[in-house]
């Protein structure tokens, strides 16, 4: 029994969604950070009581409300069971979770390699099947290869089966001559700190084999970034935005590709409060260091941006049921394309002003990597190769694109 102390907060980094299991209705809760592999389904009658896990209510408050709502004077048992289930699953911000979190972060920090987190779910975990799948995905892409030397591509980070055409368009901009370049992969950090870059020196492992980390460049950015860079960021252990790009690059150029993997935390303060991201001193240092590296290394680098664009519909907190290419999603496409025009023109400021409109109501999760690239490589000019919207479920849509960037 937990007593009548203050109830811990329910973690704000959890995923909540309606239960997909027909005979088990309720609210499904899971941990995208994978500190816990538990999945809980809270029955409909108990969902409202989750509000008591806000750090402002005691166990007595919850128990009293349960008695009032159920008329059961033995409601303490329900409170104990609910609190125990949430805590055991690692869903409460309590001592058990902090121990679990510290352990997971230490395991990643000490691991010699970054293991695949999405093999078998986002793409096949069998090498032969993966090669066959990606060959099919990229089929005929080479015949559409844009002219000119590519300095960067932007590809989606949605599950590859959902974004095949945009992936194909982006990777068609690469050629066998790019194999020896260092791939600077800027990915959305879905779980990382705002205004921070997340780095790792670990080689990435996929079914194709082990990459080669560009440790000299990684250390250079880490040193220059000071407090604006997180070294051996745990988010790399679970993030898909870079892993998917690694798999495509290894398919094209072999497992030993040299990579500089960078997770870009969102520039939330700038989105909500105004100003530019580089008004933050740490962000300014990081952007400056990336720009110096880009200018010095030049054509030795090839930048790969793992980015999605708008996120609309029920899954993302909107009241509308979003259907790709229809209704309000036609307006979303027009606004997406306006932002893409600014990207193609290399207009970092103009692009960011559009992101700030309505505090980014389009919810472009790739805005930070894109802005980071534009500031690091200001001479870049882009070409839109393919724009796409995809229904990730019946009421929610993600948009994304394949783009090529070249020098002005």
Separation between Cα atoms, residue 382 and residue 62, nearest integer Å: 56
Maximal C-alpha separation, the chain: 75
DSSP string, 195-264: T-EEE--SPBEETTEE-EE-HHHHHHHHHHHGGGEEET-GGGGT--TTHHHHHHHHHHH-TT-EEEEEEE
Separation between Cα atoms, residue 127 and residue 148, nearest integer Å: 32
CATH of the domain at 387: 3.40.830.10
For residues 38 and 99, membership in a common domain is answered with yes
For residues 92 and 119, membership in a common domain is answered with no
For residue 79, name the pLDDT band (cuts at 50, 70, 90): confident
pLDDT of 284 higher than 90: yes
Separation between Cα atoms, residue 100 and residue 96, nearest integer Å: 6
Mean pLDDT of the chain: 94
The lowest-confidence range among 4-8, 86-90, 368-372 is 4-8
For residues 122 and 76, membership in a common domain is answered with no
Of residues 189 and 2, the one with the higher pLDDT is 189
pLDDT per residue as tens digits for the range 11-59: 999 999 889 898 999 999 999 999 999 999 999 999 999 999 999 999 9
Separation between Cα atoms, residue 285 and residue 353, nearest integer Å: 21
pLDDT of 76 higher than 80: no
Domain-embedded: residue 386: yes
For residues 275 and 367, membership in a common domain is answered with yes
Domain-embedded: residue 37: yes
For residues 101 and 233, membership in a common domain is answered with no
pLDDT of 3 higher than 80: no
Domain-embedded: residue 351: yes
CA distances to 67, 267, 286, 349, 351 from 275, rounded to whole Å, are 50, 10, 17, 10, 13
For residues 306-311, give the mean pLDDT.
Answer: 98
Which of 62, 88, 106 is the C-terminal boundary of a domain? 106
> Given this model, what pLDDT does residue 226 score?
83
pLDDT per residue as tens digits for the range 221-262: 999 988 899 999 999 999 999 999 999 999 999 999 999 999
Domain-embedded: residue 9: no
> Given this model, what pLDDT does residue 4 score?
62
For residues 156-181, give the mean pLDDT.
Answer: 96
For residues 263 and 227, membership in a common domain is answered with yes
Question: What percentage of the chain reaches a pLDDT higher than 90?
Answer: 89
Domain-embedded: residue 5: no
For residues 196 and 161, membership in a common domain is answered with yes
For residue 2, name the pLDDT band (cuts at 50, 70, 90): very low
Counted domains in the chain: 2
Domain-embedded: residue 145: yes
Query: Beta-carbon neighbour count of residue 395 at 10 Å?
Result: 16
Structure tokens that stand for 94 in this block: 């309590």
For residue 1, name the pLDDT band (cuts at 50, 70, 90): very low
Sign of CA dihedral 22, 25, 31, 37: negative
Structure tokens that stand for 307 in this block: 């980015």
> Given this model, what pLDDT does residue 144 score?
61
For residues 129 and 52, membership in a common domain is answered with no
Contacts 24+ apart (CB under 8 A), 177-180: 178/150, 178/253, 178/302, 179/252, 179/253, 179/254, 179/257
Q: How far is CA 226 from the centre of its chain?
A: 23
Of residues 236 and 145, the one with the higher pLDDT is 236
Domain-embedded: residue 2: no
Separation between Cα atoms, residue 360 and residue 65, nearest integer Å: 38
Domain-embedded: residue 6: no
For residue 205, name the pLDDT band (cuts at 50, 70, 90): very high
pLDDT per residue as tens digits for the range 104-141: 999 999 999 999 999 999 999 999 999 999 999 999 86
Of residues 77 and 392, the one with the higher pLDDT is 392
For residues 152 and 198, membership in a common domain is answered with yes
Question: What percentage of the chain reaches a pLDDT higher than 70?
Answer: 97
For residues 352 and 371, membership in a common domain is answered with yes
For residue 145, name the pLDDT band (cuts at 50, 70, 90): low
> Given this model, what pLDDT does residue 78 score?
87
For residues 98 and 243, membership in a common domain is answered with no
pLDDT of 69 higher than 90: no
> Given this model, what pLDDT does residue 143 score?
57
For residue 408, name the pLDDT band (cuts at 50, 70, 90): confident
Domain that holds residue 45: 15-106
Which of 87, 106, 125 is the C-terminal boundary of a domain? 106
* Residues, the chain: 408
For residues 224 and 366, membership in a common domain is answered with yes
For residues 133-158, give the mean pLDDT.
Answer: 86
Selection from 217, 342, 201 nearest residue 290 by Cα: 217
């Amino acid at each position: 029994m937990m007593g009548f102390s203050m109830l811990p907060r329910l973690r704000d980094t959890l995923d909540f969604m309606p239960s997909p299991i027909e005979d088990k209705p309720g609210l499904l809760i899971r941990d995208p950070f994978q500190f816990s592999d538990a999945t809980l389904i809270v029955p409909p009658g108990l969902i409202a009581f989750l509000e008591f896990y806000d750090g402002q209510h005691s166990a007595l408050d919850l128990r009293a409300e349960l008695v009032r709502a159920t008329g059961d004077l033995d409601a303490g048992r329900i409170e104990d069971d609910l609190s125990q289930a949430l805590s055991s699953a690692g869903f409460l911000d309590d001592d058990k979770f902090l121990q679990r979190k510290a352990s997971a972060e230490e395991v990643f920090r000490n691991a010699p390699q970054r293991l695949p987190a999405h093999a078998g779910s986002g793409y096949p975990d069998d090498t032969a099947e993966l090669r066959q799948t990606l060959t099919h995905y990229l089929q005929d892409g080479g015949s559409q290869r844009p002219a000119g030397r590519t300095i960067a591509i932007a590809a989606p980070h949605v599950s590859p089966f959902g974004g095949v055409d945009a992936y194909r368009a982006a990777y068609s901009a690469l050629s066998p001559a790019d194999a020896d370049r260092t791939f600077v992969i800027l990915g959305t950090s879905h779980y990382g700190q705002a205004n921070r870059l997340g780095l790792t020196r670990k080689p990435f492992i996929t079914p194709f084999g082990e990459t080669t980390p560009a440790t000299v460049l990684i250390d250079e950015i880490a040193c220059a970034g000071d407090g604006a860079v997180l070294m051996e960021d745990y988010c790399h252990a679970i993030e898909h935005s870079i892993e998917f790009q690694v798999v495509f690059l290894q398919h094209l150029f072999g497992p030993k590709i040299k990579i500089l993997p960078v997770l870009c935390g969102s520039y939330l303060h700038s989105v909500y409060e105004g100003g530019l991201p580089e008004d933050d001193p740490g962000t300014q240092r990081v952007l400056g260091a990336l720009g110096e590296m880009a200018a010095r290394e030049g054509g030795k680098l090839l930048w790969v941006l793992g980015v999605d664009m708008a996120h609309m519909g029920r899954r993302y907190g909107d009241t509308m049921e979003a259907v790709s290419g229809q209704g309000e999603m036609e307006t979303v496409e027009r606004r997406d394309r306006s932002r893409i025009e600014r990207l193609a023109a290399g207009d970092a400021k103009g692009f960011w002003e559009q992101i700030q409109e309505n505090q980014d109501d389009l919810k472009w999760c790739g805005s930070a990597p894109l802005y980071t690239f534009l500031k690091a490589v200001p001479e870049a000019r882009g070409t839109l190769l393919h724009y796409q919207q995809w229904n990730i479920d019946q009421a929610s849509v993600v948009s994304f694109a394949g783009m090529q960037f070249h020098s002005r």
